[in-house]
Structure 1
């Protein structure tokens, strides 16, 4: 240590802190957790970290690096115990099983990270009731931009303390309080400090038991939050009751993402939202899924949804869409030329009436994900979809599961599968596939047209005979990028594996990316079980075969 640093204690402190943060940039190996120490530590015992935090609070300089080093070493040991490290400006302690003693260590750590921009302590139950110990130190991390406190069992006192602390982090851009039920009814205590000019961009309040009053408060607050881009109020069933006031606030917002999944929306809600759609020209993602009473709301709609010219994601799954809803969507969806993800799954009433809608998907050249599983499609609607899919060159995810009409008709998708160079995920679970269908799929695989496929789901297709599985398993090794394969049987059915299992084992040796093979309820004879054990021993690869056991 130079004489200059010894003479200037404040400079020594600054350089020591810089050295400490730089030290965190190096990888640290995770040590085993010292549970016994945690159990011996109680809330009433004095904690070294808290004592030293008080030193920082009074801005008292350290006299030498000798006093500073024990604390830095203790901080390193604490993070190593959790298998974590401070990486530049981010401290991620998400789902670490933090104890109350650990939380005191977090408090002691904050003064050493003055440039911290991201703090995540989500999914740690013991945060609840102790958040004030952290919020009292927020002035030490005033540059914080991201704060995540999801599923921390926050109490009303925590909520109040957080509201006071937010004033000390004016740079905050993202706040996640999801899965904390005590936020409901107390939202104003948290967000009351947000003023005009706030930099908040993302506000996530999923499943917070928000009340209608909370929804109205958000509506009043939105005009102030001009920088807000992401608003997620999903799984708050009372929000639908205050949608009118919420929508009024949306009229002056610049939102890009709006999520109202499972919010108790009704038919009337569609008209209410349409008023806001006129002003949401920058919206990229709209999630109205799992609002079962929404069905029928699009029937008398004025098609304002078409004004969302930049919309990239539209999620309407499990909304009880009716045939008349489909008529309106047939007019609107083809106009959303930037749409990349469309989820219409679990709307069984649209099956027989969606022929025109599915045929017009050809006007969505940017579509990457199409989820239309469990929609009770009929032969005519499936034919329309197959013909339209030829014009979807960017398609990466296609889910047709639980549509029985696919069985025996997979040949209608043959041309599309040959042209789907970008397809990464194909799900055909419970589609009543026949042996001829899986043989056709094998022929497409052999020609290399599905070379980018990562996930393939053929589960619950019990009608495929051993010969069909043999043909498939002999050729599946051509899918060099395949990571997940599922050929499980239905829960009510158990079958013995045929000789095709040896073909599957052979194919797996040629699949460098495979990690998961679902084979539930397929019973392996003792000889095949032995072959699997030999495979595991000889290849030493981390591949999980999820099968029904052996005889």
Structure 2
């Protein structure tokens, strides 16, 4: 089981520090928030305390002992517990006692082939299951039929998540055959399974039978240009689809040139993620005819498609036809002045925009004035990222003027990092006005990793501003050097203002954290359904 370590002060012995209950209890939202950070989680787990097999089995038995007492259990989440691996049969043998189970989450449990087989047998006795999550269990790959073979036509499954399960092309083909049996399916996440691209033909055929599908995630699945054609042929069957994620499929570039016409049939699509897909100029030309017609679109991510920079002028100008757009991520797209101008003009027609990321587009530097008029209309903007945009002193001075007039009153996150060309006078003007951002929680003005620089007198203005910002908690100032006098000012600031504000100067200091001991208490939702969450309290 993944646990933190605690050394006994007397003998230095390593011991688990949490009770059984605390080992298993954990908010289920943790797993979803870490969906794309599995590698980091693995790194953390290697330093954790791992009990012996006997201890693991004992912990699992303790949990199993609870199941007979919970006949109305509807949600069981034992994700992120290594102790489950190799011992899942102890749980599945009791599944008939919780036959009302609707949600079963086993993400990152180090499941073995025997576990996968045992689970497959157990699913037969929980006919009302609506959600199954087996993500981050590599042994599921190559053995998926052992788990899902009991699914029958008319299955009640609404959510199936198999992220980073090392699925094979054969598994992908099996999913395609299985999909027609899951006509209630609303969420399908096969992300980070790089081999299933080869079986997308089967999956695409199966998707034609999932008319209730609302979320389709194929992030980093080895999709190709041909994959776009196959998916395009299915879109007219997915009239309820709200979220489509095809990101991080670098071989997909060029596939939209002649295969995006059916995207327009996704009238309810709210989220379209195409970041890091190697989009070509022809792809952009094709998408220009489609994206502006997606009237329900709220989130658009085109980031890290550097080849679209010089060809996206028409696409960006037509974003004005998406008045409900809330999030626009177009960082690292090698935008040129003309495309940035088109975006700036279109932004004035996006009154609901909350998130705008233009980072790593050098054309913004010296041209931020083109966007400033739009910023006056973006009353809902909460996040503005302009990292590594080659901003100059004039840019931040103009930004400060917009802030001063109150046009960015809702801003919570402002990232101006890696803009090393701004002089001390520019930072001074900015810091004198940043306190007008009353809802600001995060500010980043860090320098590039290769740079270091002494703080100017503007640092005092920053401290004065922070004292007036009641919501701010994080200030990124990496590689700014504080002389002794300013370090003392910062120390006095912390003494005078008893608030949790982290000034990140890039020092290798560990942040203190508070840990709360949890109690095992089944909770009841408004409908009287019993919910029990056994995912771990902390990594």
Band of TM-score, shorter chain: 0.7 to 0.9
* DSSP-derived class of the 1:278 partner: helix
> 2:171 aligned with 1:214, yes or no?
yes
* Cα shift at 1:77: 6.8
Q: Which residue of 1 aligns with 2:475?
A: 517
Q: Which residue of 2 aligns with 1:157?
A: 114
> 2:95 aligned with 1:146, yes or no?
no
Task: Return the alpha-carbon distance in structure 2 between the equivalents of residues 120 and 498 of structure 1.
Answer: 52
Task: Return the alpha-carbon distance in structure 1 between the equivalents of residues 287 and 15 of structure 2.
Answer: 62
Task: Return the alpha-carbon distance in structure 2 between the equivalents of residues 340 and 98 of structure 1.
Answer: 44
Task: Return the alpha-carbon distance in structure 2 between the equivalents of residues 480 and 301 of structure 1.
Answer: 46
Give ranges in structure 1 of 5+ residues lacking alignment: 1-31, 42-75
Alignment TM-score, normalising by the size of structure 2 = 0.85
Contact 2:24 2:78 in 1 (8 A): no
Contact 1:306 1:333 in 2 (8 A): yes
* DSSP-derived class of the 1:175 partner: strand
Q: How does 1:86-97 map to 2 (within 5 A)?
A: none
* Cα shift at 1:436: 0.8
* DSSP-derived class of the 1:413 partner: helix
Q: How does 1:43-58 map to 2 (within 5 A)?
A: none
> 2:213 aligned with 1:290, yes or no?
no
* 1:97-156 CA-partner distances (Å, limit 9, x unpaired): 885143222112222222222221212222211111111111222222111111111110
Task: Return the alpha-carbon distance in structure 2 between the equivalents of residues 501 and 34 of structure 1.
Answer: 41
* Cα shift at 1:416: 1.1
Q: Size of the alignment, in residue pairs?
A: 478
Q: Which residue of 1 aligns with 2:461?
A: 503
* DSSP-derived class of the 2:104 partner: strand
> 2:382 aligned with 1:402, yes or no?
no
* Cα shift at 1:389: 0.5
Task: Return the alpha-carbon distance in structure 2 between the equivalents of residues 454 and 138 of structure 1.
Answer: 46
Q: 1:423 to 1:143 in 2, by over 3 A?
A: same
Task: Return the alpha-carbon distance in structure 1 between the equivalents of residues 470 and 293 of structure 2.
Answer: 42
* 1:324-349 CA-partner distances (Å, limit 9, x unpaired): 11110000001101100000010000
* 1:352-399 CA-partner distances (Å, limit 9, x unpaired): 010000000000011000000000000000000000000000100000
> 2:434 aligned with 1:470, yes or no?
no
Task: Return the alpha-carbon distance in structure 1 between the equivalents of residues 316 and 180 of structure 2.
Answer: 38
Task: Return the alpha-carbon distance in structure 2 between the equivalents of residues 500 and 103 of structure 1.
Answer: 57
Query: Which has more radius of gyration?
Result: 1
Give ranges in structure 2 of 5+ residues lacking alignment: 35-40, 42-47, 509-539
> 2:143 aligned with 1:186, yes or no?
yes
* DSSP-derived class of the 1:117 partner: strand
Q: Which residue of 2 aligns with 1:459?
A: 417
Q: 1:123 aligns with which of 52, 55, 80?
A: 80
Task: Return the alpha-carbon distance in structure 2 between the equivalents of residues 166 and 83 of structure 1.
Answer: 22
Q: Which residue of 2 aligns with 1:318?
A: 276
* DSSP-derived class of the 1:449 partner: coil
> 2:198 aligned with 1:241, yes or no?
yes
Contact 2:191 2:220 in 1 (8 A): yes
Q: Which residue of 1 aligns with 2:502?
A: 544
> 2:85 aligned with 1:132, yes or no?
no
> 2:372 aligned with 1:414, yes or no?
yes
Task: Return the alpha-carbon distance in structure 2 between the equivalents of residues 77 and 317 of structure 1.
Answer: 43
Q: 2:332 aligns with which of 354, 374, 382?
A: 374
Q: 1:538 to 1:83 in 2, by over 3 A?
A: farther
Task: Return the alpha-carbon distance in structure 2 between the equivalents of residues 495 and 40 of structure 1.
Answer: 45
> 2:299 aligned with 1:336, yes or no?
no
Task: Return the alpha-carbon distance in structure 2 between the equivalents of residues 39 and 547 of structure 1.
Answer: 33
Q: Which residue of 1 aligns with 2:313?
A: 355
Contact 1:523 1:548 in 2 (8 A): no
After the TM superposition, which of the residue ranges 98-107 and 476-485 deviates more from structure 2? 98-107
Larger RCO (CA within 8 A; separation ≥ 6): 2
Contact 2:449 2:479 in 1 (8 A): yes
Q: Which residue of 2 aligns with 1:71?
A: none
Task: Return the alpha-carbon distance in structure 2 between the equivalents of residues 39 and 112 of structure 1.
Answer: 34
Contact 1:432 1:463 in 2 (8 A): yes
Contact 2:7 2:15 in 1 (8 A): no
Contact 1:522 1:549 in 2 (8 A): no
* Cα shift at 1:480: 1.2
CA RMSD for the aligned pairs?
2.5
Task: Return the alpha-carbon distance in structure 1 between the equivalents of residues 7 and 89 of structure 2.
Answer: 25
Task: Return the alpha-carbon distance in structure 1 between the equivalents of residues 364 and 27 of structure 2.
Answer: 51
Task: Return the alpha-carbon distance in structure 2 between the equivalents of residues 170 and 528 of structure 1.
Answer: 65
Task: Return the alpha-carbon distance in structure 1 between the equivalents of residues 502 and 396 of structure 2.
Answer: 23
After the TM superposition, which of the residue ranges 139-148 and 363-372 deviates more from structure 2? 139-148
* 1:404-449 CA-partner distances (Å, limit 9, x unpaired): 0001111111111111111000000000001111111111111111
Q: 2:124 aligns with which of 161, 167, 177?
A: 167
* 1:36-87 CA-partner distances (Å, limit 9, x unpaired): 9x9999xxxxxxxxxxxxxxxxxxxxxxxxxxxxxxxxxx9743x4494899
Task: Return the alpha-carbon distance in structure 1 between the equivalents of residues 116 and 408 of structure 2.
Answer: 51
Q: 1:345 to 1:104 in 2, by over 3 A?
A: same
* DSSP-derived class of the 1:456 partner: strand
Q: Which residue of 1 aligns with 2:218?
A: 260
Contact 2:110 2:138 in 1 (8 A): yes
> 2:376 aligned with 1:429, yes or no?
no
* DSSP-derived class of the 1:352 partner: coil
Q: 1:453 to 1:308 in 2, by over 3 A?
A: same
Task: Return the alpha-carbon distance in structure 1 between the equivalents of residues 259 and 174 of structure 2.
Answer: 27
> 2:233 aligned with 1:272, yes or no?
no
